[in-house]
Amino acid sequence: MAKTVRVIPASPKIFRSEVTAEPRRRRTAGYARVSTDHEEQASSYEMQMAHYKNYIESRADWDFVGMYSDEGISGTNTKKRDGFNQMIEDALAGKIDLIITKSVSRFARNTVDSLQNVRKLKEHGVEIYFEKENIWTFDTRGELLITIMSSLAQEESRSISENTTWGKRKQFAEGKTSVGYSAFLGYDKDFKINEEQAQVVKLIYKLFLGGRSFYAITKELEKRGLKSPSGKDKWYISTVRSILTNEKYRGDALIQKEYTADFLDKTRRKNTGEIPQYYVEEHHEAIIPPDLFDFVQSEIKRREQNGKHSGVSIFANKIKCGCCGGWYGAKVWHSTDKYRRVIYRCNKKYAHKGKPCSTRHLTEEEIKRIFVKALNSLVEVKEKVIVALQSLID
């Protein structure tokens, strides 16, 4: 049998760049972005906003629905571009038919982000016009051109990032660095000491050397109503630890503790040897004397080696059991009645299988008497002890 072929004519529903006879007007939005806060960029941003508003309103086949924008935001990824994300959301919700923007690089410098969003919008009947490259995404050549232009824009971003990184690392090698003043307690611009904040730093070191734990220091600072580096009322253990271990307080600077791992998403990672670090001695005026800072570091290390540190009493973790080598800790007897009292006993007294430690418990009064007696015995031979200690130190 002879085959019968019947032609079904095409009925294209996509929009084209030229004005068509189709009566439906397209709801059109403009998008503008600049990546820095520089004055010349600010004027460019304002010009983009004004230009696209006037351009859209001048077209007889377009209805202006608004401008979307991001100012001082990088185009390498879309996560933090609130204006861009709102525009995509509105377009997918059917509020926009056409988006006008200056160029592919204004839309996105990341090839993957660019293509994903173009395809997503295309599936929902939303076209994009890139004015500089004269690309319409519903055009048959549109996606190929966008791929090429997005790749070029992404490589341009990579080149800018690498050049900036090279310049920064050259400065680091020369001992030049900066500090985040808004959240760095004790210093203002150019490492000038902020006297009021410096007193808080000194207090933290004093409390630590007085036997307080990191947690106890946070509670004391909150009790005194002192603000954290970020200006909050609440203090965290990590913040106190950072202040007690940051070499900048002794006047030195360790440069490049972190680095940007990916220029596209700006991921920051701790530098564990991936790139060089630079340690600059006597970089600026110290808040904490170097010898005191070093003593604090050794004390932090000692506490970590001894396990959990208690700052409840000056005698906590100071008395060692002669039987098992464990530390004495405070224990409360009769905590809920009139016979309540605090004693010190080996923390591992009953932790061993079989017979407990033979060392007895001590009251705080007994410990104080023993301490004074030991101190007085040292005072009698003070000169000899100092000479012997000095010899050991040397």
| Torsion region of 326: left, alpha or beta (phi above 0 gives left; psi -120 to 50 gives alpha) | beta
**From the CB of residue 25, how many other CB atoms can be counted at a distance below 10 Å?**
12
Overall size of the chain counted in residues: 394
Report which secondary-structure segment, H or E, holds 270: strand 267-270
Domain that holds residue 188: 181-305
Q: Write out pLDDT tens, residues 351-371.
A: 877 788 889 899 888 999 999
- In DSSP notation, 343-371 reads EEEETTTTTSSSSPP-PPPEEHHHHHHHH
Range 230-266 burial, b when 16+ CB lie within 10 A, else e? eeeeebeeebbeebbebbbbbbbbebbeebeeebbee
Nearest to residue 48, comparing CAs of 68, 65, 26, 18?
68
64 occurs within a structural domain: yes
Q: Write out pLDDT tens, residues 8-62.
A: 777 655 445 444 445 578 999 999 887 654 444 445 677 878 888 888 888 888 9
> Are 133 and 36 found together in one domain?
yes
Nearest to residue 320, comparing CAs of 297, 350, 349?
349
Q: Which of 305, 340, 373 is the last residue of a domain?
A: 305
* Secondary-structure percent of the chain, ordered helix, strand, coil, rounded to 5: 45, 15, 40
Report which secondary-structure segment, H or E, holds 128: strand 127-130
Report which secondary-structure segment, H or E, holds 63: strand 62-71
165 occurs within a structural domain: no
Tens of pLDDT, residue by residue, the chain (394 residues): 677 777 777 765 544 544 444 557 899 999 988 765 444 444 567 787 888 888 888 888 899 999 998 876 554 456 668 888 899 999 999 999 999 988 877 777 566 677 778 888 888 899 989 888 888 888 777 667 666 766 666 666 566 655 565 566 566 666 566 555 556 899 988 788 999 999 999 999 999 988 888 999 999 999 999 999 988 999 999 999 999 999 999 988 887 766 565 545 556 677 776 667 778 888 889 999 999 999 999 999 888 876 666 666 677 778 889 888 888 888 888 878 888 888 888 888 888 777 888 898 998 889 999 999 999 998 889 899 899 989 998 8
- Contact in structure between 137 and 124 (CB atoms under 8 Å): no
Report the CATH number at residue 108.
3.40.50.1390
> Are 104 and 196 found together in one domain?
no
4 occurs within a structural domain: no
- Contact in structure between 50 and 69 (CB atoms under 8 Å): no
Q: Tally the domains of the chain.
A: 3
The Cα 205–Cα 212 span in angstroms is: 10
174 occurs within a structural domain: no
The Cα 271–Cα 290 span in angstroms is: 24
